Amino acid sequence: MYREILTDLINWKNKDRRKPLLLSGVRQCGKTYIIEKFAQDNFKNYVYINFEKSERIAEIFDFDLDVKRIITEIGRQYKTDIIPGKTLLFFDEIQECPKAITSLKYFCEDLRELHVVCAGSLLGVALRQQNISFPVGKVNRLQLYPMNFKEFVIANDRSDLIETLKNWTTDREIPKLYSEPLTKLLKEYYIVGGMPDVVKAWIKNHDYEEVEEIQNEILSDYADDFAKNAPISEFPKIRWVWDSVPVQLAKENNKFVFSHVKEGKRAADLEDALQWLNDAGLIKKTELVVTPELPLSGFTDKTYFKVYFSDIGLLRAKSKVSPETIINETELYRRYKVAFTENYVLTELISRGKEPYFWRSGNTAEVDFLYEQKGNIIPVEVKAADNNQAKSYKQYCKKYTPAKGIKLSQKNIGENLCESTPTFSIPLYLAWNIDAY
C-alpha cells in the first residue's frame, strides 16, 4: 500500500551527509513492510536482521564495535555480500540489542557510505528504561504513523479524488461528485483507522466484523506489551491510564485528569504510566498554550493537557462504538463523535509534520489546535458537524489577530472572514491538504 514516508526514505538514501536512519513507530504500523518495500525498489540486495527473533546475531556485537568486522560476520551468517551503495542493512527491533544501537555511532563515523536502517516498536520505552549509550548526533530519524486519511483513500483505489483536490481552487465549492464519496470514506476511516493490517482486511472483504476482530487483536497485543516490557509496579497503572483515555476524551471538558483514572490516585502515582504510553507511541499529549507566542513550546502549561490515541480506528474499537453508530450518526453518538473528530484532526496534523497545542481561556473559550507554520501561529477550529458557529475561535482571533486560520467541519469549502483574520472553512475530509490553505 502507498505510504507517503517512501518519499522521505528516498530523500534519505540520496543525502550527501546521510547517517544511519532510525525509524520509530508504534507496533504494527507498518515499519518492517515499508523498509522492505523501500529496499526492494532501491537496492541490489538487503539484509534483514530481527533482533527479537534472531537473538544469537546480537553476539556479533559483543566483541567490539568495529563495523567492518561486524558486516563481514553478518554477511557470512546470511551468505551474502554487504556492499556499500548497493546493500541496505536493516536492523529490526533494535532495542533488543543495545550494543547494536551504540554501534550506529561507528557506522556513521567509519562506514557512512553503507545504508543502515534501524527500527524499533518500543524504542522510546527502551531508551528511557535501559542504560543504553545512544549515538547522539550520529543518526537521522524518521517517524512512521498509522496510515493517514490520504493514504486510506488511495488504498481504497480512489487516488483520483486526491489528484483532483490537491490543487483545487481555494474558493470553489466541492461538488457532490467528489464530496459524497469522500464523506463516506471518512466515516469508514473513523471505523477502520490506519493500522495497515486492518486497512488491508477492509479493502479485501469490506467486513466490519473482521475489522473489529483484527483491531481487538492489536489492542490485546498492546496489553501484552504492557505486561512484557513495563516495570511490574507500573503495569496495572498503565492499564488504568490506557482504559481511561477514550472516556476522558469524550468529556465536555476533555482535559486529562489523573484523579479520574482511578479513585484515590493522583498525578504523582500515574505520571510514569502515562509517560510509558507516550514513549511507546500509543498516545499523543497536546498541551495548553497560555499565551500564543513563538515558540509555542515555550508558553505551555505542562500540567494541563489532553490525551489522544495514535489511531482513530483503535480509539473507536477501544470505545466500543459500533460501526453502525458512526454510519448512521445518531444523536446519542454526539459526545463521542466530537472526540473522534478531534482525534482524527490531531493525527492528520501530526502526519503533516505539525506539533499541535491548544488554547483555552478559563472555562469560557477554547481553540482546538494551534501549530507553528513559517513564523505564524495557525489556529484550527474543529467542528464535528456542519455547525460553523465558533464563538471561541472568534474570541481568540479578536484577542490575538493571527495572520490566518482554519475551520474544519462537515461544511463545504469557503472563506469566512473574522474581523481581523482570513479564515478558510474546509471539509474535514480535506485536512490532509491543510497546507494549501
Q: Are residues 59 and 198 in the same domain?
A: no
Q: Are residues 118 and 164 in the same domain?
A: no
Q: Are residues 203 and 323 in the same domain?
A: yes
| Total of domains in the chain | 2
| Residue 109 grid cell | 563515523
Q: Are residues 117 and 165 in the same domain?
A: no
Which run of H or E residues covers position 59?
none
Domain boundary among 115, 143, 171: 143
Mean pLDDT per 10-residue section of the chain, whose length is 437 residues: 96 96 94 96 96 92 96 96 97 93 96 96 74 85 97 98 94 95 98 98 97 98 90 93 96 93 93 95 96 96 97 98 94 92 98 96 88 96 80 91 94 77 93 93
Q: Are residues 166 and 89 in the same domain?
A: no
Q: Are residues 304 and 339 in the same domain?
A: yes
Looking up residue 9, the CATH number of its domain turns out to be 3.40.50.300
Beta strand pairing call for 21-24 and 140-143: parallel
Domain boundary among 143, 164, 197: 143
Domain boundary among 143, 177, 199: 143
* Percentage of residues of the chain with pLDDT beyond 90: 84
What integer pLDDT is reported at residue 246 of this predicted model? 96
151: nearest Cα among 52, 295, 7, 3:
3
Q: Using one digit for the tens of pLDDT, what is the confidence trace for 388-410?
A: 677 899 999 999 999 999 999 99
Residue 175 DSSP code: P
358: nearest Cα among 384, 324, 382:
382
Residue 313 neighbours by CB under 8 Å, 6+ apart: 146, 189, 190, 191, 192, 193, 194, 195, 198, 211, 215
Q: Give the Å distances, CA to CA, from 67 to 18, 38, 43, 230.
A: 17, 23, 20, 32
Q: Are residues 281 and 256 in the same domain?
A: yes
- For residue 104, the enclosing domain spans 5-143
Q: Are residues 126 and 163 in the same domain?
A: no
340: nearest Cα among 407, 277, 262, 250:
250
Per DSSP, the three-state class of 45 is strand
Q: Are residues 310 and 324 in the same domain?
A: yes
Q: Are residues 139 and 201 in the same domain?
A: no
Q: Are residues 363 and 415 in the same domain?
A: yes
Q: Are residues 243 and 276 in the same domain?
A: yes
Residue 108 neighbours by CB under 8 Å, 6+ apart: 19, 20, 135, 138, 139
